[in-house]
Chains A and B, each alone.
Chain A
Amino acid sequence: MSQSLLSIRGLTKAYPGVVANDDVSFEIGKGEVHALLGENGAGKSTLVKMIYGLVKPDAGEMVLDGRSYVPAEPSMARQLGVAMVFQHFSLFDALNVAENIALGMENPPKPRDLAGRIKEVSELYGLPLDPFRTVGDLSAGERQRVEIVRCLLQDPKLLIMDEPTSVLTPQEVEILFRTLMKLRDEGTSILYISHKLEEIRALCDGATILRLGKKVGTCVPKETTARAMAEMMVGSELHTPSREAKAPGAVRLALKGLSVKSPGEFGTSLKGITLEVRAGEVLGLAGVAGNGQDELLGALSGEILSAPGMVEFDGTPVGGMGPMARRRLGLLTGPEERLGHAAAPDMSLTENALLTGAERRGLMSNGFLKWGKARSFAEEVIARFDVRTPGPEVAARALSGGNLQKFVIGREVMQDPQVLVVNQPTWGVDAAAAATIRQAILDLAAGGTAVIVISQDLDELMEISDRFAALNEGRLSDIRPAQGLTVDEIGLMMGGSHGMEVAHV
């Protein structure tokens, strides 16, 4: 990493009301893995979008390989050797791998040649892929491979990766890292965005830290502790959730051989899930995305109905009840997708507070809504969970991901749930907010609520769970006490490397 590949000088981008990036400068060397760190809303995405040509900076300049670099649009960025793997895959389930890759190319070669190239490149970098498999049948890890191979086919000089490991098992992360290191050794630079500080320490050569749109520091991750990096991001000392040991109470929620078909064509059906959660206990469920998490949450929230006896709440069969009836009993849920599922994007926070809180918080009588009370409920959530927003009349989609997450989790937590089930409660949330949310979950458990946390963040699960299990292809592994589990054991519970071929690097 002697020479600089991309140097960023004084990039500034303002949106109405916020300065997303304020005079940010840093350099990425040739063959360097550079981490971009920061809380949510710190401006990482905006910065990356400017590099990839999706957003135009208001001021500042970029120099790529010694030449001025002003990407007007992503296709131009790609031509100049900048490729990006997004956090959310942009693949079509119904098409096969080669077709998906061809769709993302400017001048796709003939399908036959392309398939050959895909095989060649994917094997070279230890990411074996069958070009003719349908994407809908691939695991999350394999889908990511498709995205990465799509980038590699363009021979990039700079590869941007946005939170790539959030969908992978530890074993799959291992494979990915070997690929990235091979790329680095060949001289490709990588800009790596992640919240997982230990990963950054293992992989990255340098790091730039953003806070509130400004660069607040740089560090060499290998020589710094994760805690020190986290504190640089947050700008204050980090608060680790605390909990007291207690004896679990009576069984509140029991699943008895819960089997339901997924409503989506490429979803995962649940197969014979049996578990119990007791009052005051946190059950952590790990699993790679797409292994039945959404379906499990749906089956618990009442969006997916099952045979009545398959879900029991305090001994009462509730499998056939809809969401409202379950909420009335005290079974509350928080889905993974914030916008469009947990919250209506164009509705105000007050209206979104009403979305699940109408009944338990007494926000209506005889079907007539009490807007004043709904508004003060929204304000309460905003205040207690430090949701940063001008007020409750703001539309949900105007909030940053982390802030909206605080709001939708807070909305459930503040309804005094008997059983709370949350899916990815801190997904895409900054360290400080994640700590707030985890603490709130632990406080609920301490108060006697039975909690199920479904998450892909293993550190999070180990931190807050009493017992631990993993979902794999719609089945649940054995449930084991969380204490003393090793990463290897957890990885195997999650399905190991899903039979993905290990890199031949």
Chain B
Amino acid sequence: MLKLEKRRQPSQVWAYLAPVVAVVATMVVGGLLFAFLGKDPLLAIRTIFWDPLFGEFAFYYRPQMLVKGAPLVLIAIGLSLGFRAGIWNIGAEGQYIMGAIAGAGVALAFYPLEAWWLFPLMVICGAIGGLLWAMIPAALRVIFGTNEILVSLMLVYVAEQFLASVSLGLLKNPEGYGFPGSRNLQQYPSAHNAELITGSGMHWGVVAALIAVIMAYILLNRHLLGFQIRLTGEAPRAARFAGVKPKQLVLLCMGLAGALAGMAGLFEVAGPSGRISIDFNAGYGFTAIIVAFLGRLHPVGILLAGLLMALTYIGGEIAQSSMGLSSSAIQVFQGMLLFFLLMVDVLTNYRLKLAKADAA
């Protein structure tokens, strides 16, 4: 019989090994899933993990990694700060949408302005849009003690409805022949989040994500505020004893996460996506939760996890088109990653022991 025994100290080795084991387990079980669906499991795994990087069309897919990875990393960095402090904002998807609407809204309001300051202004407004949306669950928690998990999640659906409404009304392209959706920002030079180097996939969102990783690393490891965030998550009572003000910390963490998610939304709408449309959001806000945990809530880990997740997105799409795998199968596959990670995570704090079933 297997038994779990609590470790005296969390295992360093397992903290680093767990994501790797989780990825391997996902490949194995995911492969089984694909086999049951009647597909060649080895080919599927190869298509998802290998082809985007080293396949025939890798020159096209590699930049896509940055395009898909950047919003994931940017959002996950923000979420990880809250998660570290025990503040569970799972409504990043809504904050992402609201940031995109706010930033794109500013650009469209000035259409067809040509000015260097328009894009920076959009970024700021995107951040503010996400921040304000995140302030709703934060303020409700601070003032009334509501559960931020529920409130932030519910607000995602509100944001989706709002997105549908503006795509059909306020922000609809007047020259769009009545089709829903806004003007294409890609054709609006001062608002376009263009590739910085053509063909590299590198846009301002990627730069922002990298800066966020570095700043978060410094914050968590070198700054009192980061220490307080970690302390609050590990031992809330000790944090209060140390002088952390829990309410301020909730506002701060939610606000930061919202602002980063909003910025991610803006970079997406002004760049790769181009326009506000009913189905503009692609679930980055939810996938970023997986990315945050897969990356151990550690900035560098999140960077790697974001790239890995982007890989499964791209690989998943290839598998869909070339092998006819259903998109739900790919989503299950991505979900498995988090599932296995949480499972393997137990080993960080516990050790498995083979207990003999004698003397029962």
A interface residues with partner B (beta carbon < 8 Å): 15-17, 56, 70, 72, 301-303, 322-325, 327, 333, 335, 337, 340-347, 351, 354-356, 358, 364, 367-369, 371, 394-395, 397-398
Q: Which residues from B are CB-within-8-Å of A394?
A: 9
Among the 9-residue stretches B27-35, B59-67, B219-227, the one with 4 or more Cβ atoms under 8 Å from chain A is: B219-227
Given contacts A323-B242, A344-B231, contact A15 B8 (CB under 8 A): yes
Query: Are B241 and A356 in contact, with the CB atoms below 8 A?
Result: yes
Q: Once the chains bind, are B359 and A369 in contact (CB under 8 Å)?
A: no
Is the CB–CB distance between A323 and B8 below 8 Å?
A: no
Q: What are the 4 tightest A-B residue pairs by CB atom distance, in nearest-first order?
A: A324-B243, A323-B243, A344-B235, A70-B359
Are B222 and A342 in touch, CB under 8 angstroms? no
Asked if residues A72 and B359 are in contact (CB atoms below 8 Å), the reply is: yes
Q: Which single residue of chain B is at the shortest CB-CB distance from A346?
A: B234
Besides the known contacts A344-B239, A369-B223, 14 further A-B residue pairs in the complex with CB atoms under 8 A apart: A15-B8, A301-B241, A323-B240, A323-B242, A327-B243, A340-B238, A343-B235, A355-B238, A368-B222, A368-B223, A369-B222, A395-B8, A395-B10, A398-B8
Q: When the two chains form their complex, are residues B241 and A341 in contact, meaning their CB atoms are under 8 A apart?
A: yes
- Output the least CB separation between B109 and chain A (Å): 38
Which residue on A lies nearest to B231, using beta carbons? A344
B115: CB under 8 A from chain A?
no
**Chain A residues with CB under 8 A of B360:** 72
Question: What are 9 inter-chain pairs, A to B, with CB distance below 8 A?
Answer: A70-B359, A303-B241, A323-B241, A346-B10, A355-B241, A358-B224, A368-B224, A395-B10, A397-B9
Cβ–Cβ < 8 Å partners of B227 in chain A: 351, 354, 369
Evaluate whether A16 and B8 lie within 8 angstroms (CB atoms) in the complex, with A322-B243, A367-B225 already known.
yes
**What is the bound-complex CA distance between A345 and B223, given in angstroms?**
20
A323-B10 Cα distance, complex, nearest whole Å? 29
- The residues of B that contact A397 with a CB separation of less than 8 Å are 8-9
Q: Which residues of A contact B237 (CB under 8 A)?
A: 337, 340-341
| CB <8 Å contact, A322 and B238 | no
Q: Is the CB of A345 within 8 A of B222?
A: no
**CB within 8 Å of A: which B207-261 residues:** 222-225, 227, 230-231, 234-235, 237-243, 245
Within 8 A of A (CB), among B312-360: 355, 359-360
- A15-B8, A346-B10, A369-B222 known; A356 vs B242 contact (CB < 8 Å): yes
Residues from chain B with Cβ under 8 Å of A364 in the complex: 224
Question: Among B224, B238, B355, which residue has its beta carbon within 8 angstroms of that of A367?
Answer: B224
Cβ contacts under 8 Å, A355 to chain B: 231, 238, 241-242
In the bound assembly, the distance between CA atoms of A325 and B243 in angstroms comes to 8
- Do the beta carbons of A398 and B238 come within 8 Å of each other? no
Which of A322, A369, A371, A395 lies at the interface centre, i.e. has the most chain B CB atoms within 10 A of its CB? A369
Residues of B within 8 A of A327 (CB): 243
State the Cβ distance, B188 to closest chain A Cβ, in Å: 41
CA distance A430 to B231 in the complex (A): 29
* B10 lies within 8 A of A343 (CB): no
The verdict on A395 contacting B9 (CB below 8 Å), with A345-B235, A347-B231 known, is yes
Residues of chain A lying within 8 A (CB to CB) of residue B243:
302, 322-325, 327
Quick one: closest B residue to A334, CB to CB? B241
From residue A420, how far is it (CB to closest CB) to chain B in Å?
A: 15
Interface centre among A323, A344, A358, A371 (most CB of B within 10 A): A344
- Given A303-B240, A369-B222, A397-B9, answer yes or no on A344-B234 (Cβ-Cβ < 8 Å): yes
**Cβ–Cβ < 8 Å partners of A17 in chain B:** 8
CB of A94 to closest CB in B, whole Å = 19
CA distance A345 to B237 in the complex (A): 11
Q: Are A344 and B238 in contact (CB under 8 A)?
A: yes
Contacts of B8 in A (CB 8 A): 15-17, 395, 397-398
A residues within 8 A CB of B225?
367
Minimum CB–CB distance for B359 against chain A, Å = 4
- Specify the chain A residue showing the minimal Cβ separation from B230: A347
A288 to chain B, nearest CB (A): 22
Chain A: minimal CB distance from B352 (Å): 14
Partner of B238, one of A325, A342, A371: A342
Beyond A303-B240, A335-B241, whether A367 also contacts B223 by CB under 8 A is: yes
Most buried by A among B10, B230, B243: B243
Known interface pairs A344-B238, A347-B231. Does A398 touch B9 (Cβ–Cβ under 8 Å)?
Answer: yes
**Beta-carbon nearest neighbor of B226 in chain A:** A369
Shortest distance in angstroms between B256's beta carbon and chain A's nearest beta carbon?
16
A394 to B8, CA, bound (A): 10
Interchain CA distance A496-B154 in the complex, whole Å? 55
**Which residues of B have CB within 8 Å of A337?**
237
Residues on A with C-beta less than 8 A from B231 are 344, 347, 351, 355
Q: Tell me, in angstroms, the Cα distance from A371 to B224 when the chains sit together.
A: 11
Cα–Cα distance between A497 and B130 once the two chains are bound (Å): 60
Q: Which of chain A's residues has its CB closest to B6's CB?
A: A397
Q: Please state if B235 and A340 are interface contacts (CB–CB under 8 Å).
A: yes
Chain B nearest Cβ from A56, distance in angstroms: 8
Can you name the residue of chain B whose Cβ is closest to the Cβ of A345? B235
- For A395, the chain B residues whose CB sits under 8 A away are 8-10
Instruction: Determine the chain A residues whose CB is within 8 A of the CB of B240 once the complex forms.
Output: 303, 323
Which residue of chain A lies nearest to B232 when distances are taken between CB atoms in the complex? A344
